[in-house]
Amino acid sequence: AQTMGSLLKSIVTGLLIAIIGTMMLSEVGVNIAPIIASAGIVGLALGFGAQSLVKDFLSGIFMIFEDQFGVGDVVNVGEAIGTVEAVSLRVTRLRSLDGTVWYVPNGEIMRVGNLSQNWSRAVIDVGIAYDSDVVHAKKVLAEVGESLWDDDDFRDLLIEQPEVTGVEGLGADSVDLRIMVKTAPLQNWAVARELRQRIKARFDAEGIEIPFAQRVVWHREETAAAAELAARESRGSDDA
């Protein structure tokens, strides 16, 4: 309603300005016939001289009537990602998570990713140590998902019961398991945060290790010094 309201407001404002201006000129005795006749020529000239502006208007009309997004949706339009605050025929105003306001010309929007249309999905990848029992870890994840599904505080946010898909990757330091759940629009982040907290607490209780990156650091200078010392000792023993 807000999106269509802003569109209709822009159209009605333009029409009223044109009609009232023409009527005022007619009342003061100005011959408006040439003005009306030249309106088509002026429009054609503006069309050639302001093609980007016309492109913005046409793109805005199609985006609104195709219901690609509306006020309140979270969208990804390329470089700008944020919540739609206003949609006009020429520009779309977004506000990103850090508070930055983006004014995006409608004609510059090549593609739109709507993150809040119909439903969302929380996808969480959890890494476990290679010496952990994968079957047991999957069972624990399923129990955590079931406990969230049965929680009355989150039941209205979930559309489907959480699903454990299994092993999604074998990394350098961990075996990656995945759990995902379909949620109400824009509720995937809140559900994902709650799931991570419950998974961490349950893994600690079950003794399932969430590994950290382990690296071996080789100090080249120390190795060179040790090699030189060993060479000296070898030469000393040969001289003896």
Contact criterion met (CB below 8 Å) for 81 and 109? no
Q: Where are the domains of the chain?
A: 2-114, 120-206
- Between 78-87, 140-149, 175-184, 209-218, the lowest mean confidence (pLDDT) is in 209-218
User: Residue 222's pLDDT is what?
Assistant: 59
What are 119-141's pLDDT values in tens digits? 999 999 999 998 899 999 999 99
Question: Residue 120's beta-bridge partner residues?
Answer: 183
Whether 2-114 and 120-206 share one fold: the answer is no
Report the alpha-carbon distance of residue 6 to residue 63 in Å, rounded.
Answer: 13
Burial of 29 (0-12, 13-18, 19+ CB in 10 A): exposed
More confident residue, 187 or 57: 187
Structural class in CATH, domain 120-206: alpha beta
Q: Report the range of poorest mean pLDDT among 48-62, 64-78, 133-147, 201-215.
A: 48-62
Half-sphere exposure of 160 (CA within 13 A, CB side): 11
The pLDDT score that the predictor gives to residue 226 is 64
Amino acid at 226: A
Which two tokens mark 100?
């930055």
Residue 95, beta-bridge partner list: 83, 101
Q: Give the CATH number of domain 2-114; options: 2.30.30.60, 3.40.250.10, 1.10.10.10, 1.20.1250.20.
A: 2.30.30.60
Are the C-beta atoms of 149 and 169 separated by less than 8 Å?
no
- 159: helix, coil or strand? coil
Task: Give dist(CA 224, CA 221) in Å, integer.
Answer: 5
For the stretch 162-190, pLDDT in tens is 999 999 989 888 899 999 999 999 999 99
Which pLDDT does position 236 carry in this prediction? 60
